[in-house]
């Protein structure tokens, strides 16, 4: 009977180990930058998509560098758009090949998904990504080995925009609440593997947030620049 009260605690601990933004249990990762610099990192998952150019234009208008965690399958479908992201000065990360949930998967499956994306993105961009973000932010046994095998650093986030489901006003509020030096925001320029996704709420929220951040003295940096001072 004494073990029964521990079951919820064990479940909570397991959930944190798998998806906690600061968890290092199943794979080493970073989730925020230093607070010593008034800068934030915008990151975008699941792309590229047919709507990515609209986002690139908005970021360029405000002089904002960002980091795009691209799915290998989407990049292979839209290689010119994938390259346009890098040409615009943004950093590229690995977001697996087909965006599967990694939970309950074998180490071999995880390594294959990460490796297929790494090979596809390296061929498209002529340089291997060094950053990785797990689909849904879920780390699992075997991911640490896959990251080592492919030379990847896992990046989580300090604020999730929930832009795949929330209206623009809620996205903007979440961004405002998460704004602080060193923040890493998780947003999306795709919807898993869906062609031509609706990014209108995200774009509307960023049209509000970007000038507000700029007026408050924030810089928009890539994850490597925020964490390590690298372009």
Asked if the model's pLDDT at residue 1 lies above 60, the reply is: no
Residue-wise pLDDT tens digits, 184-214: 999 999 999 999 999 999 999 999 999 999 9
Per annotation, catalytic residue among 45, 46, 163, 189? 45
Residue-wise pLDDT tens digits, 128-181: 999 999 999 999 999 999 999 999 999 999 999 999 999 999 999 999 999 999
Asked if the model's pLDDT at residue 10 lies above 90, the reply is: no
Asked if the model's pLDDT at residue 8 lies above 90, the reply is: no
Residue-wise pLDDT tens digits, 58-100: 999 999 999 999 999 999 999 999 999 999 999 999 999 999 9
Residue-wise pLDDT tens digits, 19-49: 888 899 888 899 999 999 999 999 999 999 9
- So what's the pLDDT on residue 231? 59
Phi/psi of residue 91, nearest 5 degrees: -85, 150
Tell me whether residue 215 is one of the annotated catalytic residues.
no
- So what's the pLDDT on residue 133? 98
Inter-residue long-range contacts of 147-153, CB under 8 Å, 24+ positions, other chains counted: 147/27, 147/28, 147/114, 149/111, 149/114, 149/115, 150/94, 150/114, 150/115, 150/118, 152/94, 152/114, 152/118, 153/28, 153/29, 153/30
Sequence spans of domains, the chain = 23-228
CATH number of 23-228: 3.20.20.370
- So what's the pLDDT on residue 18? 87
- So what's the pLDDT on residue 14? 83
Asked if the model's pLDDT at residue 3 lies above 60, the reply is: no
Asked if the model's pLDDT at residue 9 lies above 60, the reply is: no
Per annotation, catalytic residue among 90, 99, 150, 188? 188
Torsion of CA 116, 118, 123, 129, to 10 degrees: 170
Asked if the model's pLDDT at residue 226 lies above 60, the reply is: yes
- Judged on CB neighbours under 10 Å (0-12, 13-18, 19+), 178 is middle
Tell me whether residue 188 is one of the annotated catalytic residues.
yes
């Amino acid at each position: 009977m004494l073990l029964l009260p521990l079951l919820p605690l064990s479940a909570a601990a397991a959930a944190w180990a798998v998806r906690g933004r600061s968890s290092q249990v199943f794979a080493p990762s970073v989730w925020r930058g230093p607070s010593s610099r008034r800068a934030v990192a915008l990151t975008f998952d699941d792309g590229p998509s047919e709507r990515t150019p609209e986002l690139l234009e908005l970021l360029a208008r405000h002089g904002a560098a960002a980091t795009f965690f691209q799915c290998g399958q989407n990049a292979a479908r839209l290689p010119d758009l994938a390259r346009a992201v890098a040409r615009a000065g943004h950093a590229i990360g690995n977001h697996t090949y087909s965006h599967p949930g990694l939970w309950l998967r074998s180490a071999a499956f995880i390594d294959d998904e990460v490796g297929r994306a790494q090979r596809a993105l390296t061929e498209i961009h002529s340089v291997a990504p060094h950053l990785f973000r797990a689909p849904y932010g879920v780390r699992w046994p075997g991911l640490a080995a896959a990251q080592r095998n492919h030379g990847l650093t896992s990046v989580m986030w300090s604020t999730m925009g929930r832009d795949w489901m929330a209206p623009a006003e809620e996205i903007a509020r979440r961004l405002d609440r998460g704004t602080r030096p060193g923040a890493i925001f998780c947003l999306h320029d795709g919807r898993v593997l869906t062609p031509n996704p609706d990014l209108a709420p995200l774009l509307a929220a960023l049209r509000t947030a970007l000038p507000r951040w700029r007026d408050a003295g924030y810089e928009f940096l890539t994850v490597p620049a925020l964490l390590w001072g690298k372009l």
